[in-house]
Structure 1
């Protein structure tokens, strides 16, 4: 079966060895890493892969964390699952019962939050103690996946001042105990969240690393590999057509392969031809998984949500538009508009990987062809 819903693990993991190498080099040089890429580029797959290499590397998925106490609970829980807590249990004798529960029971992540929260008071003090002890262990790496999502959850539950105080405290922790390295990533743009909180100094001690699209050769290899594993026979013209219309992004390639496999009854002798690629492409543009891109825009202000949809629709009709050409539609929707707000919106759309500035053409275009086609179909 072709997996399109969960991070790639085991034999499903493909390519990205060079990215893993570069990230590990940054860590070995004592850097914290801010991993950047659009959604479904394989960030979580890469980070999970890295976390398997050592018991000192802790992978923590923060997407559902909504409270400061929950942040510590997850940190404690995941550290316990990797066994690191066993090395420092004597330092936490006053929460020995909680640690024993982690060791004895294979509780769910949600269960960790529910079970541990009532027992944890003064979460900042507890986290400081935990990090202080982890700092004494060599080569500890803490991976916080979906960190920006957690911060947005905090914004919904706390005042902005309280969330700024959290970020200020967290930044202090990363500087106070420099032996621990951190990797932060997420599908939501951290720059957007930080600017909303008016806290630009956050994460200045992190090195940015951006994942790029796959090479065309690797994209073709992945596409053919998945179809062959599913018992299908892609023709050379089918692979070429795939490369013509789909960006070399793992998830888009897997979606196309998944749809072809799901509709294999239409194939002649299990052979995948050029026409099958076009049919599958039309199908995937109707997949509900793409609705994320619309829901993400709903996080913007009401005005930016409305005008953002308009600008993206205009871009879906043209391959590239300059800021001057986009300024007109912006003014129309906002009844005059504000130039600073306009450029903030363009920056947010770019940071969230909807669009990208094309230096050669001097204008903005969609980050991916697939997203452009989907947006155009949605609002046409």
Structure 2
């Protein structure tokens, strides 16, 4: 709640229920029960899941809610694992997460006591422990841990965010051999019934895991048995419900016609972009002590957001990071598409020829730009999914 002062008049101002920094939790989380149900269904079947969506679509918020509101008898925990850069880092984390997950559900005290002594666990608190023992092979420790769990028949579900980034770091810092060891281990965990009965992973990523696996191994079949779930943008009815959820009890007022205009302006209903727009509009009205939002306000907020590059740069940087040798081709496809609003398949092929990419151009189009949410096609006409991203890309990479 804020107090706005002008000419000695004070006005209470309640902000919308938005969050655009960290993942949405608690009252900030707008539930996606259809996605939650699909994920739980696969977990119930002991299927390991690859949960994919571009950044900022809301996948982390969904699984954090699932981990903390588990209605099953599973021991669940979510963590962002992006900082891990070695096999030892990864398995040490899995050991620690498993210990914490079991501690939270209050089961298997004899096992917890055993691991407490062996790993020299300190700083015990809610979801926060430190494993002090450094001279252990935590890869071996984790597989031994799973064998202990088989006896107890306790199922662990770990939600691991940004797993593709971890595999990429291991590959870049330690080479193909270590990355392949990890991929083979995960395949063993997925395909060995004794392990599947007690341990399920939900791997989250904002870039397709198959891209990285193909770089490491030359083929993508080592992850083909992962069950894939995709998080798409909100449907129009969901987007309107989300907008109402954000605006409940807020000072800023939006009539039905203006709500529709706002959503039409955004076009592709990613929760993050809806919230950015709402926050920018709210800031404009707050400055003017004016609660009613108008269409010109929305247009102004949209233009302001396009100049805030930090909200869009990740879409650009991840292409140059993961596909440096293909970046020139991919970037030109997006730049021409943004400038012309649409591209035909022939126009894309012509761009590929100019970059000497005659062999893989269509696979790159399908497996990178389409699969990772940049563009989509309809009757061989390709266009940006998000008007926001299209307009930002046009300003960032203009055709001269």
Superposition TM-score, scaled by structure 1 size: 0.89
1:366 aligned residue: 384
1:207 is aligned to: 227
Aligned-pair distance for 1:121? Answer: 2.3
1:307 is aligned, of 329, 351, 356, to 329
1:90-138 CA-partner distances (Å, limit 9, x unpaired): 4873761645415369758xxx4xx64x524222211111222334433
2:83 aligned with 1:68:
no
Matched positions, count: 369
* Number of the residue aligned with 2:257: 237
- Greater helix fraction, Structure 1 or Structure 2: 1
Q: Which moved more, 1:171-180 or 1:134-143?
A: 134-143
**Alpha-carbon distance, 1:319 to partner:** 3.4
**Alpha-carbon offset, residue 78 of structure 1:** 2.2
Structure 1 match to 2:147: 132
The Cα of 1:315 is off from its aligned counterpart by 0.9
1:61-210 superposed matches below 5 A: 61-84=80-103, 87=108, 89-90=110-111, 93=114, 96=117, 98=119, 100-103=121-124, 107=128, 112=130, 116=132, 119-135=134-150, 136-176=152-192, 177-179=195-197, 180-197=199-216, 198-210=218-230
Distance 1:301 1:97 in 2: 42
Unaligned runs of 5+ in 2: 1-14
State the TM-score, normalizing by the size of structure 2. Answer: 0.85
> How far apart are the structure 2 equivalents of 1:330 and 1:6?
38
Cα pair 1:81 1:103 within 8 Å, conserved? no
Residue 56 (1) aligns with residue 71 (2): no
Counterpart-to-counterpart distance in 2, 1:289 and 1:89: 48
Deviation at 1:222, TM superposition (A): 2.0
Q: Output the aligned Cα RMSD.
A: 2.4
In the TM superposition, residue 325 of structure 1 has moved relative to its aligned partner by 1.0
CA contact (8 A) 2:234 2:269 kept: yes
Q: CA separation in 1, counterparts of 2:245 and 2:109? A: 45
1:276 alignment partner in structure 2: 297
Corresponding position of 2:394: 376
CA distance in 2, matches of 1:137, 1:323: 53
For 1:78 and 1:230, how far apart are their aligned partners in 2?
38
SS of match in other structure, 2:359 = helix
Is 1:89–1:99's contact at 8 Å kept on the other side of the alignment?
no
Bigger fraction of residues in strand: 2
The match for 1:34 among 50, 56, 61 is 50
Change (3 A) 1:104 1:221: closer
Equivalent residue of 2:260, what SS? helix
Per-residue deviation, 1:216? 1.3
Q: Distance in 2 between matches of 1:98 and 1:264?
A: 55
1:239 Cα offset (Å):
0.6
Once residues 339 and 322 of structure 1 are traced to their aligned partners in structure 2, the CA distance between those partners, rounded to angstroms, is: 16
Residue 233 of structure 1 aligns to a residue in which SS? coil
Q: Which residue of 2 aligns with 1:5?
A: 21
Which segment is superposed worse, 200-209 or 282-291? 200-209
- Give structure 1 stretches of 5+ with no counterpart: none
Contact 2:47-2:200 at 8 Å conserved across structures: yes
